[in-house]
Structures are given as structure tokens and as C-alpha cells.
Amino acid sequence: MLKSFLKKSRDLQRINDRLKIFLKKRQRGDQIESYLSSHAERKLHLGCGTNFLEGWFNTDQSRHDPELAYLDVTETFPLPDQSFDYILAEHIIEHISRLDAERMIAECFRILRPNGVLRIGTPDLERYLSLYRDPPSEIGQDCIRDIFDSWIFPGFHKARQYAPASGDYSPIFVVNDIFMNYEHRFLYDYALLRKMTLAAGFGACTRNEAGSSIHAPLNRVETHVDRVNTHLTVTIEAVKTPASR
């Protein structure tokens, strides 16, 4: 009887979740039309979470906020070709599969206008591995200690399954943490992000510091900008140059 009750509860929850998504998708059409008709310079924010940016079309898949538009980055974007000037994807690409990430980047390319810019920030695999591989620098030591004290030792999410005894700051736990925790699916370095954006058709890809951009709309719009996050984040800007296919 208990199993039957739990199954029915899960089924009802799935039905409720699907209904919410259906309603949000119906509402989304009006939100898109309203934004596109009222903004000459158009800026798309993917997976915004609680970082609501003024003047942007803020989207998210999981948060139920009437000010946000529902958008699943693993699906075709419900947006016209060449309709946006800037796209921000801060710490979202690591939460989907690599093949879905390729499709997301392709969709970003499709909806960007010529000279449009896609900005992606994500954990930097190369920097994380360096914490384990190389003698830690001063900033590396700060990163290790902060990750342990803020996430691993408190047992955040899956960390409770592998956290060492308090006081053990071995960097091997930090490397495992970034792979196993936070619902991460795939981690990147600059070389792979550059390869993926150029393969999608972008004409240029440059590495930037988290929180900083030469493009005013993309400058100081991110939340992962403290000293540790800035060091451990790889941020790129890919430009859809007029010569891009």
C-alpha cells in the first residue's frame, strides 16, 4: 500500500510539473513578443537563477518566477533568427551534457545578429587540476581552503558522501568535488570552449576574466566574481562576425 501511495504521489508530482511547464511555455510567447518589440538592443540571459538583470530577457528552466521566461537550453530556442545582440550563459553549460552544450551554442549562434556576442562562464578544469597537480600558489591555497570550508566540510549536497575529516585539506577532494557535486555533467577548459564555438560558426573566441568585458552590456553582470571564483572560472566571449557562416 505504501509503495502504491508513493508511486501515485510521484506520478501526481510529474503531472503537476508538466502542467507548470506547459503553462509557462504558453505565457512565454507573450513575454518574447513584449521584449522584442520594446528593446532595440536585445540581451538574452540563459539560466539566470536569482541574478535578474535589468533590460535583459531573463530566462530559466527551474525557477518559478513570473518575471522570468521558461527556457530549457537543451531544446530549440523559441526565438527568431538574428534577434539578439548579446547572450550571457554564466555557470550553466556544465549542468548539461556536452552534446547538449554543442546544440546550445549552435542555437546561440543562430539567434545572434551579426557582431553579436556570446559570453560563457564555467568552472575551469585546467585550473582545478592545477590545484592537485602543481604546488599550490597563494591563490590556489585560498581556493582549496575556501572550497573545503564553504562546501566540502559542511557536506553540501553530495559532498557528505566523500568529505574527509575536518582539517584534511588534500586537493584531491577538491578535484573530485567539482566533478561529483553541484549536479555537474561536463567540465571545460578554454581550448575546448574555443573549439566548440568556432565549430558552431563563430568567427572569433577570446578568453576574459570573470566579471570583466570590453562590451559594456557584458561588463559586471555576473555573480561568480569573488577572488576564488574568478580564479577558477574560465570565461569566453565568442563573436558572430559578419563573415561567420
Give me the mean pLDDT over the 196-208 stretch.
Answer: 98
Q: Does residue 48 surpass a pLDDT of 70?
A: yes
On whether the CB atoms of residues 132 and 172 are closer than 8 A, the answer is: yes
Distances (CA, A) of 155 to 50, 109, 141, 144, 169: 23, 39, 20, 15, 14
The pTM for the full model equals: 0.90
- Burial category of 166 from C-beta neighbours within 10 Å (exposed 0-12, middle 13-18, buried 19 and up): exposed
**pLDDT of 11:** 62
pLDDT exceeds 60 at position 6 = no
Hey, is 147 helix, strand or coil?
helix
Per-residue pLDDT at 22 exceeds 90: no
pLDDT greater than 80 at residue 89: yes
The Cα–Cα gap between 210 and 230 comes to 5
In the structure, what pLDDT confidence band is assigned to residue 142 with cuts at 50, 70 and 90? very high
Rounded to an integer, what distance in angstroms lies between the CA atom of residue 158 and that of residue 181? 5
